[in-house]
Amino acid sequence: MFALFTWPGYQERMTKKIDTAARDLIRAIEKHAQLSGLKPVPPKKVARAAVELRGATAAYTAVVEERTGQVNPFIDVLDAGTVDSLVRERDRLAKKARKAEKS
């Protein structure tokens, strides 16, 4: 595999936490791309890679925000309808979990 994002001074300009999160994100992107490019595409493996990619993205954005105060660079990737749908789904799952704990 090749490093997707390399340029002169790349390593020197990043803190250790951001560097680790960026490396994990790059690996997750490369893995997802590699699996998505297979013929036939293995749906379960691609789904697992997508979960890893979302986790790596969340970890990266959290570290960047913590260390720099900058907002999530992927904030505009989702449209408002998708965000609303995800919020409703999260709330529904949380309500279901609370209900299960009570029983």
Q: What is the pLDDT of residue 70?
A: 83
Q: Write out pLDDT tens, residues 74-95.
A: 777 777 777 777 778 878 888 8
Better-predicted residue by pLDDT, 29 or 78: 29
| Tokens of residue 2, six digits | 């090749």
For the chain, domain boundaries: 1-72, 76-103
Q: What is the pLDDT of residues 42-71, one digit of tens each?
A: 999 999 999 999 999 999 988 988 888 887
Residue that wins the pLDDT comparison between 25 and 91 = 25
Global confidence as pTM: 0.61
- Residue 53's alpha-carbon distances to 25, 28, 71, 99, 102, in angstroms, are 7, 5, 19, 30, 34
Cα 73 to Cα 58: distance, rounded to the nearest angstrom: 11
Residue type, 83: V
Q: State residue 36 phi and psi, 5-degree precision.
A: -70, -25
Please, which pLDDT band fits residue 2 given cuts at 50, 70 and 90?
very low
